Amino acid sequence: MSPETVRCSTAFRERGEPMIGSAPVARRWLLIEHPGPWAKDNLQTAPIAGAAAAAIEAATAAHQGRSLLMRRPGRNTISGAASWYAVDTSTGMWVTGTWRTTDDLVVAAEALGTPLAQSESFAEPMLLVCTQGTRDACCALRGRPVAAALAKVWPEEVWECTHLSGHRFAGTFISMPDGACYGTVDLADAVGVVRAQRAGKVDTSHLRGVARYTSAVQAATGSVLAAHGPAPITAARPGTVEVVSDTVTRVEVIGDDPLPDTTWVEVTAEALPPAPLSCGKGPGEHAAYRTKVIATPA
C-alpha cells in the first residue's frame, strides 16, 4: 500500500462523510506572525512558550478565542518587527500591533478583551491556510499548494498558519474577518472557492462552517445555504437554538434573500465507525452532523 493511500485526508475523501459542522469553534482570534519552525503545539514554539503562552491561553479561554501562528507563503524570515492581529469575527473589527519580545505578545493577548470589544477599526481581508506539517503531513502536502495558488491572486491577504483542527479535511483554510472555514480544497479549486464567497455565492461543497458558531449551528446554517443558495455566507444566521439532548440540537436559521426567512433544522451528531483521523495514527472516534428540516416547534 502506497503512503498516499493511507493519508488521512485521502481516506476521508474516500469515505464520503459530511464535513459541515467541523470548523474550529471560536469567536475571537489572535493571529501571530512567526516564521517558524512551529512546534506541534503552536504556543510551545520558541520564544512564545512560557509566560506569553500562558497569557494567550488565558485570554483565548476568557473570550471564546483561539490563537494561530502564521507566516507568508514560502518565507521563513521576517524583516523587522513581526505583526499580530486580534480579530472579532462577530463584529468584523480588529486590533493590530507588532512584537519583538514576549512582553509584546502579552499585550497582544490582552487585546482580545476590552481593546477588541471597543475597536472601531474594520478588519482587512485575510486568508489563512493550514500548512502545519508538524501536526500532520496532509496539512503541508495539501495546504502549501493551496496557499501558493491563493497568494498569486491575493498576495497581501494570504498566510500559511498552524492547525485549524481536522487534519483529514486538508487542504483547509479560514477567511477573516467573517470566520468562514473551508476544507478538502485543492490547487485546482482554491481560487474558485474564494471568488465564489466574495461574489456572494458560497461553495457549500467545501464549507466546513462559520467558526464563531457551535458545530450544530454551523451544520444548520450550512445546510440552509446548500439547499437554497447560492447565497452570501452572511445570509444564514442562527435565531433560537434548542439543545434537545447530548446529540440533538434544533436551530432556527434566519435567512436573507434568496434564503427562506426562517427555517428550523434538526441537527444530530452521529457517531461514526472508527477511522484514521490523522496520518500515522490508528482509527479514532469521530462524529458527523446530519441535518433535516423540521416543523417549527410549539
CA dist list (Å): 81 to 136, 198, 227? 29, 31, 46
pLDDT exceeds cutoff 80 at 5? no
> Is residue 89 classed exposed, middle or buried when 0-12, 13-18 and 19+ CB atoms within 10 A define those classes?
buried
Which domains, from first to last, does the chain contain? 1-213 (3.40.30.10)
Could you tell me the three cell numbers for 205? 461543497
Q: How confident is the model at residue 235 (pLDDT cuts 50, 70, 90)?
A: very high
Query: Is 133 within 8 Å of 139 (Cβ atoms)?
Result: yes
Global pTM?
A: 0.94
What percent of the chain clears pLDDT 90, i.e. is strictly above it? 85
CA-to-CA distance for 141 and 186, rounded, in angstroms?
Answer: 10
Each residue's pLDDT tens digit, 260-273: 999 999 999 999 99
CA dist list (Å): 121 to 85, 95, 211? 12, 7, 21
